[in-house]
Structure 1
Amino acid sequence: MQSLEGKKALITGGSRGIGRATAIALAKEGVELGLIARSEESFQSVEKELTALDATFVTAVADVANEQEVQLAVKKIEDKFGAIDILINNAGVGVRGSFLELPTDEWKKVLDTNVMGIVHVTQAALPAMIEKNKGDIVNISSMSGLKGTEGSSAYSASKFAVIGMSESLMQEVRPHNIRVSVLTPSLVETDFTRGRDNHDWNPDKYTQAEDVAEYIVNNLKLEQRTFIKTAAQWATNPF
């Protein structure tokens, strides 16, 4: 397994949930971090944790659905670190509702964030990675990207799209020694899932964000640079 020390990573949705847990896990490996989230206030907790670890990091505020904001955020991170080695497209939103009852503006919000957000960030960061001729891109999909469920049509559609986009992107960037992975975790304990079924909240049903972060770190350490689509087993046996 290869060392990650000294590598540069960009993480979207880096202030909480899987993004925060992954930032902390990578910081412990000596990775320098660029974090993107939608508000400055959301960074307060993770900044304290990373400072306590003596990590090197920079934060940038951007809504990944906004292409111009993303370009400015990625430029800020690249101005500090140069070309990044690791891109983790984690930012996402979820909404529940029946197909006929879900307003089209809710559909647009989900697709703009979960799909176009990855497009915006990857298009901004990829040219420098190609020039460097090396890198890893990790896209966070979901078990909902493998199997649709009642009440999640918009979210599921967006996560199916992430898988298809990742498979296509892998074929394009593989000649540049860039590896693409897409992960499909099941229920992960985050702010979104905690608020989803308050009447039947059972933390034992949920994967912890730290477990997903550990999986990401171990995957990044692999020497073999092939396409990875994994974690379907998390649906029935989360770690």
Structure 2
Amino acid sequence: MENLNGKYALITGGGRGLGKATALAFAQEGINVAITGRNEAILIDTVKEIESLGVKATYATFDVANYDDVKAAIDKLNAEFGTFDILVNNAGIAAFGSLIDMDPKTWVDIINTNLLGTYFVTKAVLPQLIAKNQGDVINVSSTAGLNGAATTSAYSASKFGVIGLSDSLMREVRKYNIRVCTLMPSTIASDMSKDLKLTDGDPDKVLQPEDFAELIVANLKLPRRAMLKSASLWSTNP
């Protein structure tokens, strides 16, 4: 079983929802956590909660869809906080509507954030994992990345893309002892899901962020050559 204590993790979209739940679950395992997002006030409050669990925490405010900003922010985090052992690409946005009715800018924004954002952040962090000859990359996709629906063309395209990116990345980096894990949850009672009226968050009806965060931690604790495959978790390991 992997010992997570003392590791350093970067979680995008870490201020609320699944990202925040994962950050707090990591802190309980002794993982030092850096979170990113676009709302500085939310990030500051979450960092305080993480620090209350006895680990180091920090934040960076940037848009994952802007590579120059991503690279500059991660370089600064590395210099001030430390290099990373774990990357969780969680930042994402969603909007629903028919292909013909959705505004092209909205369509492009979803692809840029969900797919290109995953690529940009991974590109910036991956060299330090390769240098350590060990690490974990966890990419949050969705069941919408397995099956499309009539109103999810942009969101499904982005999440299908994350699955393909993850599978290709696994084949590139397993020689460096780096694991690549693709998460494919259905609806979670996140702030985004509630804002979009996909769920009211009732814990008797829908998965809670804290529940899925526990699954992420459990996967990280597996022996490095272990593999899990299911509808919600696809861990492709060296």
Shifted more, 222-231 versus 182-191: the winner is 222-231
**Partner residue in 1 for 2:123:** 123
Aligned to 2:205: 205
Q: Which runs of 5+ in 2 are unaligned?
A: 234-238
Displacement over 2 Å in runs of 4+: 80-83, 195-198, 224-233
Contact 1:9 1:86 in 2 (8 A): yes
Kindly indicate whether the alpha-carbon contact (under 8 Å) linking 1:181 and 1:228 is maintained by their aligned counterparts in 2: no
Q: Distance in 2 between matches of 1:232 and 1:120?
A: 24
Write the mapping of 1:147-226 to structure 2, written as runs, cut at 5 A. Answer: 147-197=147-197, 201=200, 203=202, 204-225=204-225
Q: SS state of the match for residue 115, structure 1?
A: helix
Is the 2:9–2:86 contact (alpha carbons within 8 Å) kept by the matching residues of 1?
yes
Q: Percent identity?
A: 46
- Partner of 1:205, secondary structure, is coil
Deviation at 1:127?
0.7
**Pair 1:227–1:102, CA change in 2 (3 A):** farther
Structure 2 Cα separation of the partners of residues 126 and 14 of structure 1: 19
- TM-align CA RMSD: 1.7
- In structure 2, the CA distance between the partners of 1:93 and 1:224, relative to structure 1 (3 Å rule), is same
- The match for 1:64 is 64
C-alpha contact 1:87 1:136 (8 A) present in aligned 2: yes
Q: How does 1:45-64 map to 2 (within 5 A)?
A: 45-64=45-64
How many residues are matched?
232
Q: Is 1:104 aligned to 2:104, yes or no?
A: yes
Q: Tell me what 2:236 maps to.
A: none
For residues 157-213 of structure 1, the C-alpha deviation after alignment (integer angstroms, 9 at most, x for no partner) is 100000010000000000011000001000001122112237x74623321000110
Contact 1:179–1:227 (8 Å) recurs in 2 = no
TM-score, normalising length: structure 1: 0.92
TM-score by length of 2: 0.92
Corresponding residue of 1:236: none
Structure 2 equivalent of residue 28 of structure 1? 28
Equivalent residue for 1:134? 134
Shift of 1:149: 1.4
Question: How many Å apart are 1:31 and its aligned residue?
Answer: 0.5
CA distance, structure 1, for counterparts of residue 5 and residue 227 of structure 2: 23
The change in CA–CA distance for 1:166 and 1:103 in structure 2 (over 3 A counts) is same
